[in-house]
Amino acid sequence: MKKLIVFAIAALLAFSVRGEKVSLVGGTVINPADGRVIENAVLVINGDKIESVASRNETGVPVGSRWVDCTGKFILPGYIDTHIHFFQSGDLFTRPDAADFTKIRPYADEVAWIKSHLNDVFARYLRCGITSVVDVGGPMWNFEVRKVANSTAKAPRVAVAGPLISSVSRPQLNLGDPPIVQVNTPEDARAMVRTLAAKTPDYIKIWFIVDPEHPLEKFRPIVHAVVDESHARKLRVAVHATELEAARTSVEEGADLLVHSVTDKPVDDAFVRLLKDKGTILCPTLVVFERYGRTFANKVNLTPEEKAWGNPEVIASLDVTKIPPDQLPDRVKKALENPDSVLDRIQHTYDVALKNLKILEDAGIPIAAGTDAGNIGTIHGPALFREFQLMRDARLTPMQILRCATSNAARVFATPRSGVLDENGNPQIGSIIAGSFADLIILNSNPAADIARASDIDRVIKNGTVYDAASLLPK
């Protein structure tokens, strides 16, 4: 009953400001897109858009508007996570192709649980100030997720891709609507793009896995076919490629977005020039690199935000010591037997990935923040704050990190079908300017001074509706 009362009060609070003109008064507005800072600001929201933003020395508070006192607080664009997967929960059972726990929890049960908890996931993103997300690959029911999100008030904006076009298959994930589809010929690749195009995806996704059985050059014609067929339909292409040569090949063929860092070797000058010449955006997606290994080795390092705002059922599942030893997959047994080796491999990955991120940032390559949330141990919503920590470890400044999670990320989200492009093709999210959608966060302290404060969220504004952040999740 107490939870129902809390949610009822929160609903009334949100409803009371919907559709009204709202003035955020006295706070410091930070626009990472251009680094502009306005102290003692008046930010006026009219319906779902920002009407104006200026210093109180330049403008007054509109008569009759609802006044929200932001004295001592900081106002930023809502964060955007450009790499998530709704078809995965983040729990121990969500990728039986990586670690098979299906004797404990059948994969069909896992998928049913995921579908029944979508509204919970949506709310957790908003609680973290994440007002838009890009799902870069999942089953065909991903398109239904987008539809549900678009009709749900307490949900982020959602962009999606359909099934991943891949060099490998993952039959363990196939319940009749597979999230990953192996494609063996350019003709089949083009046919797959045409099938997906009928669903008006935001992206076509390629899962570019390179190993001795799947050499790079064998898959390159398929990458070419996917990009060519997609671009002919004005669809963007995102590629998972963690090896330098696979990433290089993808960009040469015209990929619009790389959704992972290069982790096998340092990037070279030619690759940096290629990214710049092609205008490719890179999403480093750092946090996911540690979470599988740390979970399996029983060395999970969840942040305070993840512990507070992640789904408690998901988090409870990550304790592999609760699994009977005779039902542990070999990969998990080996990790538990030698956790130091696992941690060493993770550190080696970061030694490469973090240096590469710094090189690309310094070269002016557009970097967009993303987490790969939904994978084992990568928690929907608050995983973004661990991503910020790792970007800080790469020696990005707080303002650079905030730009990656706002205006740069908006360029990833704002596809032609996203509904957030203005008449000139500019994103209407990710920046605090007149005419943009009122997707904002109000913080108690300044994240531009210390990125650790990025989670110090007081209120979240989505589409002009103001929510007390603490009211968005059950107590």
For the stretch 61-84, pLDDT in tens is 999 899 999 999 999 999 999 999
The SS3 of residue 272 is: helix
What is the pLDDT confidence band of residue 19, given thresholds at 50, 70 and 90?
low
- Domain check: are 442 and 332 in the same one? no
Six-digit token string for 95: 């990728």
Q: How far is CA 385 from the centre of its chain?
A: 11
Give dist(CA 285, CA 283) in Å, integer.
Answer: 6
What is the pLDDT confidence band of residue 474, given thresholds at 50, 70 and 90?
confident
Q: For residue 61, what is the domain's CATH number?
A: 2.30.40.10
pLDDT beyond 60 at 10: no
Q: Give the mean model confidence (pLDDT) for residues 226-237.
A: 98
Query: Is residue 273, in this structure, part of any structural domain at all?
Result: yes
Query: Is residue 407, in this structure, part of any structural domain at all?
Result: no
Q: Name the domain count of the chain.
A: 2
Burial 68-94 (b: 16+ CB within 10 A, else e): bebeebbbbbbbbbbbbbbbbbbbbbb
- Domain check: are 121 and 224 in the same one? yes
- Domain check: are 158 and 234 in the same one? yes
The alpha helices in 233-366, defined as continuous H runs, are 244-252, 269-278, 288-296, 304-309, 312-317, 330-337, 339-362
- Rounded to the nearest integer, the mean pLDDT of the chain is 95
- Domain check: are 301 and 440 in the same one? no
Query: Is residue 376, in this structure, part of any structural domain at all?
Result: yes
- Domain check: are 73 and 105 in the same one? no
The 10 Å Cβ neighbour count of residue 33 is 17
CB 113 within 8 A of CB 89: yes
CB 442 within 8 A of CB 73: yes
pLDDT (0 to 100) of residue 212: 87
pLDDT beyond 70 at 92: yes
- Domain check: are 53 and 89 in the same one? no
Taking phi over 0 as left and psi of -120 to 50 as alpha, with beta for the rest, 395 belongs to left
Residue finishing a domain among 379, 396, 413: 396
Q: For residue 153, what is the domain's CATH number?
A: 3.20.20.140
Query: Is residue 421, in this structure, part of any structural domain at all?
Result: no
- Domain check: are 447 and 379 in the same one? no
- Domain check: are 71 and 85 in the same one? no
Query: Is residue 180, in this structure, part of any structural domain at all?
Result: yes
pLDDT beyond 70 at 6: no
What is the pLDDT confidence band of residue 253, given thresholds at 50, 70 and 90?
very high
The dihedral through the CA atoms of 418, 419, 425, 430 has a sign that is negative
Least-confidence region, from 29-43, 50-64, 69-83, 135-149: 50-64
Residue finishing a domain among 378, 396, 414: 396
Residues 6+ apart with CB under 8 A from 449: 398
Query: Is residue 235, in this structure, part of any structural domain at all?
Result: yes
For the stretch 400-424, pLDDT in tens is 999 999 999 999 999 999 999 999 9
Q: Give the mean model confidence (pLDDT) for residues 231-238.
A: 98
pLDDT (0 to 100) of residue 309: 98
Q: Which residue has the higher pLDDT, 17 or 329?
A: 329
Partners of residue 442 on adjacent β-strands:
75, 459
What is the pLDDT confidence band of residue 3, given thresholds at 50, 70 and 90?
very low
What domain range includes position 221?
Answer: 79-396
Query: Is residue 263, in this structure, part of any structural domain at all?
Result: yes
Q: Give the mean model confidence (pLDDT) for residues 173-181.
A: 97
Give dist(CA 115, CA 123) in Å, integer.
Answer: 14
- Domain check: are 276 and 360 in the same one? yes
Six-digit token string for 269: 């000058």
Query: Is residue 254, in this structure, part of any structural domain at all?
Result: yes
For the stretch 427-461, pLDDT in tens is 999 999 999 999 999 999 999 999 999 999 999 99
- Domain check: are 276 and 164 in the same one? yes
- Domain check: are 103 and 136 in the same one? yes
- Domain check: are 173 and 302 in the same one? yes
| Among the listed residues 368, 361, 400, the one whose alpha carbon sits nearest the alpha carbon of residue 384 | 368
pLDDT (0 to 100) of residue 15: 38
Residue finishing a domain among 396, 417, 441: 396
pLDDT (0 to 100) of residue 213: 87
